[in-house]
Structure 1
Amino acid sequence: MEPPGEKPGEAGRLCITPQLLKSRTGEFDLESILLLKLRGLGLADLGCLGECLGLEWLDLSGNELTQLGPLASLHQLAVLNVSNNRLTGLEPLAACENLQSLNAAGNLLATPSQLQCLAGLQGLEHLRLRDPLARLSNPLCTSPSYWAAVRELLPGLKVIDGERVTGRGSELYQLCRELDSSLRPSSSPGPRATEAKPWVEPGYWESWPTPSSSILEEACRQFQDTLQECRDLDRQASDSLAQAKQALSPVGTTSSFVF
């Protein structure tokens, strides 16, 4: 028996229907749907989804999709998750001019050139093509130059695969990653801990690289700057709360408000 609201498309493929969309959202008018979650339904045909012209947030992950044609009419779409499907191209998304975040991990994208269609999306800042935690990737992610190629092709991206590459905090993140790599036993000439022991050899707790390392010094400097900024923000928040508490207190009485 077919799931309610779904019907076979070509060759028996499950297709999105108006009945399915209305049952999922409670909306009578498809153009009124703003948020839609259709995860893991075995969908292979987007059917009438292109009629949801007001759609802003869409989750199609975990289906059997091979193409995204109907999405070309969704000009208001801002967030899209098409991870864990069978996509070999993203061309229809070139028309989604308001797209800001795209998760396409776990598909069949083989070369960076298949991302060229996204180059005209001025608002696209977040792109995921690989998700290690969910064990999802794309063939193109196996290339050593994958990250560099994506950044060159889409210079407006701020986050790739969950890692910030531009914007506030990116330099500190990069420094911490380099520092972490330099501290790993494989790259450190210092003693290595191969098994748990009740003691350690002399010098085990000495940091590597040495304090004179430019990487370590720069990481410490930026960390201190960030810490100071957090303290300043905390002080501003405390001042704002104090002002609000005073404004809410009756004149001449002690405030009983607890913040």
Structure 2
Amino acid sequence: MEPQAEKPGEADGVRVTPQLLKSCSGEFALDSILLLKLRGLGLVDLGCLGACLGLEWLDLSGNALTQLGPLASLRQLAVLNVANNRLTGLEPLAACENLQNLNAAGNLLATPGQLQCLAGLRSLEHLRLRDPLARLSNPLCASPSYGAVVRELLPGLKVIDGERVTGRGSEFYQLCRDLDSSLRPSSSPGPSVAEAQPWVEPGYWETWPTRSSSILQEACRQFQDTLQECHELDRQAQDSLAQAQQALSSAGTASSFVF
């Protein structure tokens, strides 16, 4: 049996071209593109993507990329998804000075040293190198000290692999755990004869002891601060959505840019 002929572009993969960018974005000028979704297109070469100087949000997940060279010129880029590719390095991202959120799960990053290029990105707060739900990871994630090493290398991170590691959220969570532990009476030996027992210990619902008042007050204060911060973030999100909807409506397109 003769081997089947390869489809055009199947052997070499797909290269980013101006025509591809314009068809995916609906924009006529490359430097006018702000949001771009190029997921699962079989990309092996980013081509002219570096010409999209105004790009702020980029999804390149599910391709066959081995390097990110053209991204070095994208100084406005804030959100980047390069999950599920074949990357062995992230060096070009060192020039993306506004990068805030990076998803690089499912690549070939083998050592923490390959993350050193991100150390100068002061705005970078969210980093994902593994995604258990999608079964994506990197070889460096197999190390028992992976989390600690990444936190030491990139101390400005607030969220690693979807888990908050610094900031008010994590502090409040730990405070709640301490509060819960302080409210539970020490366990006492159970009766020698089996008998019905209440599902909570005596005094569990009574007034909290005086010794815990300072912890409780601090917990309530931080909860109120966190709640206020959530309200402010919600307001900002609503404003951003309204502006995006207005911009899309004026452009006459109805594209989706959700990762």
TM-score by length of 2: 0.69
The alpha carbon displacement at 1:223 in A equals 4.3
Would you say 1:55 and 2:55 are equivalent positions? yes
The alpha carbon displacement at 1:178 in A equals 8.7
Q: Residues 205 and 78 (structure 1 numbering): CA distance in 2 closer, same or farther, change over 3 Å?
A: same
Q: Residues 141 and 230 (structure 1 numbering): CA distance in 2 closer, same or farther, change over 3 Å?
A: closer
In the TM superposition, what are the counterparts of 1:166-245 in structure 2 within 5 Å? 166-174=166-174, 202=197, 205-206=200-201, 223-229=219-225
Q: 1:15: which partner in 2? A: 15
The alpha carbon displacement at 1:231 in A equals 8.2
Give the aligned length. Answer: 211
Q: Deviations over 1:94-124 (max 9, x none)?
A: 1111111101011111111110000011111
In the TM superposition, what are the counterparts of 1:133-148 in structure 2 within 5 Å? 133-148=133-148
The alpha carbon displacement at 1:224 in A equals 3.4
Cα separation, 1, equivalents of 2:196 and 2:89: 55
Q: Give the secondary structure class of the aligned counterpart of 1:75.
A: coil
Q: 1:242: which partner in 2? A: none
Q: Is the 8 A contact 1:164 1:173 kept in 2?
A: no
Q: 1:100: which partner in 2? A: 100
Would you say 1:42 and 2:42 are equivalent positions? yes
Q: 1:90: which partner in 2? A: 90
Amino acid at match of 1:95: A
Q: Deviations over 1:127-166 (max 9, x none)?
A: 1111122221111111111111001100111111111111
Q: Give the secondary structure class of the aligned counterpart of 2:168.
A: coil
Cα separation, 2, equivalents of 1:98 and 1:104: 17
Q: Residues 230 and 167 (structure 1 numbering): CA distance in 2 closer, same or farther, change over 3 Å?
A: closer
Q: Residues 160 and 231 (structure 1 numbering): CA distance in 2 closer, same or farther, change over 3 Å?
A: closer
Would you say 1:64 and 2:60 are equivalent positions? no
Q: Give the secondary structure class of the aligned counterpart of 2:132.
A: coil
Q: Deviations over 1:22-68 (max 9, x none)?
A: 11111111111111001111111111111111111100011111111
Q: Residues 162 and 50 (structure 1 numbering): CA distance in 2 closer, same or farther, change over 3 Å?
A: same
Q: Is the 8 A contact 2:172 2:223 kept in 1?
A: no
The alpha carbon displacement at 1:225 in A equals 3.4
Q: Residues 172 and 219 (structure 1 numbering): CA distance in 2 closer, same or farther, change over 3 Å?
A: farther
Cα separation, 1, equivalents of 2:61 and 2:172: 32
Cα separation, 2, equivalents of 1:226 and 1:31: 43
Q: Residues 170 and 51 (structure 1 numbering): CA distance in 2 closer, same or farther, change over 3 Å?
A: same
Q: Is the 8 A contact 1:44 1:65 kept in 2?
A: yes
Q: Is the 8 A contact 1:47 1:70 kept in 2?
A: yes
Q: 2:79: which partner in 1? A: 79
Q: Is the 8 A contact 2:169 2:226 kept in 1?
A: no
Q: Give the secondary structure class of the aligned counterpart of 1:22.
A: helix
Q: Is the 8 A contact 2:44 2:63 kept in 1?
A: yes
The alpha carbon displacement at 1:220 in A equals 5.9
Cα separation, 2, equivalents of 1:71 and 1:35: 14
TM-score by length of 1: 0.69
The alpha carbon displacement at 1:227 in A equals 4.5
Cα separation, 1, equivalents of 2:85 and 2:227: 45
Cα separation, 1, equivalents of 2:29 and 2:216: 56
The percent identity for this pair of structures is: 72
The answer for unaligned runs of 5 or more in structure 2 is 181-186, 203-207, 231-259
Q: Is the 8 A contact 2:79 2:99 kept in 1?
A: yes
Q: 1:154: which partner in 2? A: 154
Q: Give the secondary structure class of the aligned counterpart of 2:58.
A: strand
Amino acid at match of 1:160: I
The alpha carbon displacement at 1:172 in A equals 2.5
Q: Is the 8 A contact 1:8 1:15 kept in 2?
A: no
Q: Is the 8 A contact 2:33 2:52 kept in 1?
A: yes
Q: Is the 8 A contact 1:71 1:92 kept in 2?
A: yes
